[in-house]
Structure 1
Amino acid sequence: MNEKALEVLQIIEGDGRVSIQTLAKMVDATEKEVKEILKKLEDEKVILSYSAVIDWSKVEKQEGVTAVIDVKVTPQRGVGFDEVAERIYRFPEVKALYLMSGAYDLSVVIEGKTMSEIARFVSEKLSTIDTVISTTTHFQLKKYKHDGVVFDQGEEDHRIVVTP
């Protein structure tokens, strides 16, 4: 991968909405070259998706519940963790899945409408998989930063400081 392609990746990772024209200026290339770079990166599955970071807490009646579930599993001979990971990530509730080092093998991020919905997912879907030994569920209480974006930086405190 050449240096221009790396530059393009770094820029669009920070802002996926940057225009081709602006991107071309930023990497000192023509618009045609940038389009070709993007097409190649998409075809090679280096760029998988373009997404927006949304603060759902500010959208009325749309805020759900996010949970991180630590999962301990028995790896399968010949396929390791891949087979059980594939089975888990196929559930529509699963937003992210990572193989981890440490006390647990997999970290599953899921979203639901309620805590009960997440509890049902764990008890009826996740824990019923043969190779799953145990789970620990952590509910997200507040999001401070996601994908480099700081949430709810708040307004400045306009109160007058009073000292004795």
Structure 2
Amino acid sequence: MEELLRILEKNARMPIEDIAAMLDKTPQEVAAMMDEAAAKGYIRGYETLVDWERAGVSLVEAVIELRVTPHKSCGFDDIGAAIADFDEVDTVLLMSGGYDLQVIIKGRSFQEIALFVAKRLSPLDDVISTATSFVLRAYKRGGRLYQAEETDEREWTML
């Protein structure tokens, strides 16, 4: 099962026949394994990694470090789940180190993200402090490199 999951993680669009050949199984066996992995919650969904900048879509992304007060009965779980429920939130991670939760959000502008932090995130009772960093450029996401723009190799002469 682990080998199947690693293959799908790299390319979820790979044809089942190709995966079956790689695993030395029949396509029917691979399909059954995929159904089992989904039923057990190993596979949480399939997504496309989009380079929005290259697609010409204005999108701002921010990484927010949160220090919070955990609840005695359930630790950080309730707080993390409450923050994950916000539509603007893409990712919530419990961290070790200088802060407790890392929140990644996406918006149409810096101002939209700043307003979300100021009006929706910071006022939560359990939030002690926030530190917001805006993503300026992605070099690698999901294990895939974002290639730099191609340079123009043509020569020119100025008269």
Task: Tell me the TM-score normalised to structure 1 length.
Answer: 0.90
Gaps of 5+ in 2: none
Matched, 1:54 2:38: no
Partner of 1:9: 5
Q: Aligned to 1:68, which of 58, 63, 87?
A: 63
Counting only pairs closer than 5 Å after superposition, residues 2-151 of structure 1 correspond to structure 2 as 5-60=1-56, 62-151=57-146
**SS of aligned partner of 2:79:** helix
* Equivalent-residue separation in structure 2 for 1:26 and 1:48 (angstroms): 23
Matched pairs, number: 155
* Equivalent-residue separation in structure 1 for 2:136 and 2:44 (angstroms): 29
Moved >4 Å (runs of 4+): none
**SS of aligned partner of 1:122:** helix
Deviations along 1:42-86, one digit per CA (max 9) or x if unpaired, are 0000001111111000122x2210000000000011110001111
Deviations along 1:10-31, one digit per CA (max 9) or x if unpaired, are 1110001001111111111001
* Equivalent-residue separation in structure 1 for 2:13 and 2:87 (angstroms): 26
- Cα RMSD for the two superposed structures: 1.3
* Equivalent-residue separation in structure 2 for 1:159 and 1:145 (angstroms): 28
Gaps of 5+ in 1: none
* Equivalent-residue separation in structure 1 for 2:130 and 2:47 (angstroms): 29
Shift of 1:6: 1.3
* Equivalent-residue separation in structure 2 for 1:110 and 1:154 (angstroms): 25
